[in-house]
Amino acid sequence: MFLSLKNNFWHPVRLKANRRKKLGTDNDLVEVLSRDWQNIGDKLRERIYKHYWGYLMGVALRYVSDRDTAGMVVNDSFMKIFSNLKTFECTDLENFNKILKGWMAKITARTALNEIRKHKASTLQEPLTDEHDWRFPVMLQDNLHVENVWDLINNLNPNYRKVFTLYEIEGFNHDEIAELMGITASSSRVYLVRAKEKLKMLYRTLMV
């Protein structure tokens, strides 16, 4: 019985097992998605959610500090992702996962910023004074660990952190950041410069 099942490649049980095996790994999920991401069923949706949840939590935590809010942002983002997956475009299938993650991250960043805008308790925009306008020379000692990176990011002023991550990590331009944050593009540029200076200063004080 076992032999006949083993030899019969087209046996339904075998096919199901093959399919499970095929969809079993994360790489396979990306491969399946890259072939037809516009028509996904409930099963695939669940796998996408479980696969990218951790990554999107990481994205959300760049903007909101508490985990519950980040979880809510991620769920809102997944809702938008599933609703708009048909509109996602990717011609470079070699880098499908990277492009898809970038697209998802942008949606999550926007959702997080909207969430902040809705519930912010106090938005004291930092004045554009010259008080931080000095440069730090920095020498990297070794590769940074993830904890170190988060230490650096968490010690930034919220607006600097937002502009820095939106520009350097998510890849928005200054005009887009200005629109997202309700500031001017020139303010965004200034915040970015200051964020970088602050990061160098923090690196010196915290890491070295």
Query: Smallest gap, in angstroms, from Cβ of residue 186 to another protein?
Result: 15
Q: Is there a contact between 85 and 38 (Cβ–Cβ < 8 Å)?
A: yes
Q: Is there a contact between 58 and 36 (Cβ–Cβ < 8 Å)?
A: no
Residue 208 contacts by C-beta under 8 Å, 6 or more apart in sequence? 139, 141
Query: Smallest gap, in angstroms, from Cβ of residue 14 to another protein?
Result: 28
Query: Smallest gap, in angstroms, from Cβ of residue 67 to another protein?
Result: 9
In the bound state with another protein, the residue whose beta carbon lies nearer, of 6 and 135, is 135
Distance CA 106, CA 108 (A): 5
Is residue 162 within a helix (H) or strand (E), and if so which, with residue range?
A: helix 158-164
Query: Smallest gap, in angstroms, from Cβ of residue 40 to another protein?
Result: 11
Question: Under the rule (CB under 8 A), what is the footprint of another protein?
Answer: 46, 49-50, 53-55, 57-58, 62, 71, 75, 78-80, 82-83, 114, 117-125, 127, 129, 137-140, 143-146, 148-150, 152-153, 165, 168-169, 182, 196, 199-200, 203
Q: Give residue 182's identity as a one-letter amino acid code.
A: G
Q: How many CA atoms lie within 13 A of 22 on its CB side?
A: 10
In the bound state with another protein, the residue whose beta carbon lies nearer, of 11 and 207, is 207
In the bound state with another protein, the residue whose beta carbon lies nearer, of 12 and 54, is 54
In the bound state with another protein, the residue whose beta carbon lies nearer, of 3 and 121, is 121
In the bound state with another protein, the residue whose beta carbon lies nearer, of 20 and 120, is 120
Q: How many CA atoms lie within 13 A of 121 on its CB side?
A: 1
